[in-house]
Structure 1
Amino acid sequence: MFRMETEVDKERHAALGERLSAANSHRSPVLRALRTSPLGEEVPLHVWLLDDTTGELAGGLAGRTWARWLHVDLLWVDDRHRGARLGSRLLAEAERVARTERDCARARLETWDFQAPDFYRKQGYQVIGEVMDYPPGVTEYILVKTLT
């Protein structure tokens, strides 16, 4: 007999992640080796753009590196500063740090059709996948770039 619950439980969530990670490592020699190497550690990578006069956040990038990959989670530039290539500078700096300081060979990210797929294409990213209707009425793109 089993009982199912649908409540949010942070402790169970953490346990689930640990158990899945252990199962994956058991089944994959590649992941097993990765988890015992420095490359197997996920490390945050943040780049902030601050207004010199006000000190306010004008833009930023939040991502992480793992297994020689940069994963860009968030990239945003304030509307008042759009068109000044600040997004390109933020992305280039994150890629530089990932490549030169963390030995990353590739980068990946997701973006929606109304956000910035063309921007990322101009930065050298290629669309490798599309998820239609996620959320309904929107297409999500998965993009990658070789950093070397």
Structure 2
Amino acid sequence: MFRIEAEVDKARRDLLHSRLRDTNTAASPVLAALRGTPGAREVPLHVWALDENGGLAGGLVGHTWATWLHVTYLWVDAVHRGAGLGSRLLSRAEHIATTRSCTASRLETWDFQAPRFYQKQGYEVVCVIPDYPPGITEYTLTKRLC
């Protein structure tokens, strides 16, 4: 008999993540080969742009793992949009990722956000999920860094 629970539990989440990683590593020669290398763990990657008063003008939050950069968030304050700041943040993150031996980058964006911006930066659409969330289309894009 099992008891099913639905609650936020950081310790269980971390245990589940660890066990899933171990299972995946055991099943995949590529992931097994990564074990013990610098690329085997997620390493945070953050790039910030501050305005002349030290306020947040934009930023990028992501991580590197297994020779990939994963861009989680990229945001530029409305007053600074159109001036190339987003391109500079993304370029800086890609450069840092290459110093960590990354050869590719991936990200997700919605149709009302920036799919065309990323395509101008050399990203290609590899997945389209319509109606996620309802009424919106999500795109997954990738780019070769080397």
TM-score (norm. length: structure 2):
0.96
- Tell me the CA shift for residue 37 of structure 1: 1.5
Work out the CA distance in 2 between the residues paired with 1:5 and 1:129: 33
SS across alignment from 1:20: helix
Q: Which residue in 2 is equivalent to 1:14?
A: 14
Question: Could you tell me which amino acid in structure 2 is paired with residue 22 of structure 1?
Answer: D
- Tell me the CA shift for residue 33 of structure 1: 1.6
Aligned residues: 146
Work out the CA distance in 1 between the residues paired with 2:138 and 2:60: 19
Structure 2: any 5+ residue segments left out of the alignment? none
The RMSD of aligned alpha carbons is 0.9
Q: Which residue in 1 is equivalent to 2:50?
A: 50
- Tell me the CA shift for residue 2 of structure 1: 1.1
Question: Could you tell me which amino acid in structure 2 is paired with residue 104 of structure 1?
Answer: C
SS across alignment from 2:48: strand
Q: Which residue in 2 is equivalent to 1:129?
A: 127
Structure 1: any 5+ residue segments left out of the alignment? none
Percent identity over the alignment is 62
4+ residue segments displaced more than 6 Å? none
TM-score (norm. length: structure 1):
0.95
Work out the CA distance in 2 between the residues paired with 1:71 and 1:95: 10
Work out the CA distance in 1 between the residues paired with 2:74 and 2:112: 14
Question: Could you tell me which amino acid in structure 1 is paired with residue 4 of structure 2?
Answer: M
- Tell me the CA shift for residue 96 of structure 1: 1.1
- Tell me the CA shift for residue 68 of structure 1: 1.0
Structure 1 residues 97-145: Cα deviation after superposition (integer angstroms, max 9, x where no partner): 111x212110100000000000000000000001111111111000000
